[in-house]
A and B are shown apart, each in its own frame.
Chain A
Amino acid sequence: MKVHLRLLRFNPETDGEPHFEEYTVEADPMDRLLDCLHQVKWRHDSSLALRRSCAHGICGSDTMLINGVNALACKVLVKDMKQPVTVEPMRGLPVIKDFIVDMEPFFAGYRAVKPWLIPDPDAHEPARERIQTPDERERFDDTTKCILCAACTTSCPIFWSDTEYVGPAAIVNAHRFIFDSRDYGSRERLQILSGKGGVFKCRTAFNCTAACPRGIKVTKAIQEVKRAALYDTF
């Protein structure tokens, strides 16, 4: 079948501002949008710039604004898309070229919440594993699924206008460690997240939850972190 694509192109060296360009490619209904974009890049216009690595919905490189919602180009099937398919880069992050955006503000928010295990400062090097019950592991299971694709953060109306906000993805990754029984840095993280640009910037618009390609209950996780920050319980 024929697929009509409207791609928001931007080349910083020649274009003053982004503009739509239209392409028509031949694709199978079970192909993915990424396959269509590959066809454009390989057969029509090799200057099309996009990120993609694994192409199987795990690396989180090819998040785009597809027909008005954030999704991974490698997970959206041709048969499920309304034509013409409008593809734009993610919003809220500076566009470098075509669908490649500067992810630095996103990762700055991620780094700000210290997304790594902070061990017990009084304990010496562990002589054995840090044991955890299945229930303790279950507590943060949902937020371990994050692939840092930025679909949630760039769907957030607050993040679009306020890059100081760390964004939903950073809070999800903070949640993953705050509620981990082996971690000792929760209070430190909650201190950071209680401040300016922290978790209370969230206004529960729920775009993040709908956008997450991994099905993480993002807003629920954010609300849990809010309560943890308020009542110092985790």
Chain B
Amino acid sequence: MLAPKLIEGFVFVLTVGSGLFVLYLLADLLRLRKRDRGPAYKGGIGQWSWAAHRITGILVVAFLFGHIVDTFAVGFGPELYNETISLYQQWWFKPFEVALVAATIFHAFNGLRIILFDFWPNLALKQKQFAYAELVLFLIAFLPAAFFMLRSAYEHSPFS
């Protein structure tokens, strides 16, 4: 059947394409181009939060595209949909889901931090404290989720 091959191909192109795009963004960010061979600009936590915000944003959007494509498979009947979605049930896929959770939580908290500065410019004077507080909140939200997800992945893996 042509449809599963098409969908698989589409998901593959989206995944690899977005991965390459993220690599390009990283190279661009670190200014590793030929004419600029110096190391990355040693900005503070604000610069790295900005970079991480972009990268996580692109990752989440890339996943959403893939997710739309796999949901699209439901139009071809339950067999194809179940087959496509079974990818997410594989034990080795869980770490990618954990990465998705990390990207989403970071992007959400960082977005809220930026919005705070938009509403109250005076808070910008304490930007470092806000950035570190955000990282703490991120860890509080992310670590338990990662623990439970990876534990279930481990139980279903051949290593357990």
Contact of A204 among B34, B36, B41, B46 (CB under 8 A): B46
**Assembled-state Cα–Cα distance A157/B46 (Å):** 11
The answer to whether residues A223 and B117 also contact, given A157-B29, A206-B47, A206-B127 and a CB cut-off of 8 A, is yes
Contact of A68 among B39, B114, B127 (CB under 8 A): B39
How far does the Cβ of B53 sit from chain A's closest Cβ, in whole Å? 8
Instruction: Return chain B residues, CB-CB under 8 Å to A67.
Output: 42
**Assembled-state Cα–Cα distance A95/B38 (Å):** 14
Identify the stretch in B98-106, B118-126, B145-153 within 8 Å (CB) of chain A at 4 or more residues: B118-126
Question: Are the C-beta atoms of A205 and B47 separated by less than 8 Å?
Answer: yes
How far does the Cβ of A168 sit from chain B's closest Cβ, in whole Å? 12
Question: Are the C-beta atoms of A65 and B114 separated by less than 8 Å?
Answer: no
By size class, the interface of chain B is: 20 to 34
Interface residue? A130 (CB, 8 A):
no
Nearest-neighbor residue (CB-CB) of B39 within chain A = A68
Q: Give the secondary structure class of B's interface.
A: helix
Instruction: Return chain B residues, CB-CB under 8 Å to A69.
Output: 41-43
Instruction: Return chain A residues, CB-CB under 8 Å to B36.
Output: 18, 91
Interface residue? B35 (CB, 8 A):
yes
**Assembled-state Cα–Cα distance A19/B36 (Å):** 9
How far does the Cβ of B45 sit from chain A's closest Cβ, in whole Å? 8
Interface residue? B132 (CB, 8 A):
no
Instruction: Return chain A residues, CB-CB under 8 Å to B35.
Output: 17-18, 95
Nearest-neighbor residue (CB-CB) of B48 within chain A = A205
The answer to whether residues A157 and B125 also contact, given A65-B41, A205-B43, A206-B44 and a CB cut-off of 8 A, is no
Q: List 12 A-B contacts (CB under 8 A).
A: A17-B35, A91-B36, A157-B29, A204-B50, A205-B50, A206-B47, A207-B47, A219-B124, A223-B117, A224-B121, A226-B121, A227-B118
Q: Which B residues contact A (CB, under 8 angstroms)?
A: 28-29, 31, 34-44, 46-47, 49-51, 53, 114, 117-118, 121-122, 124-125, 127
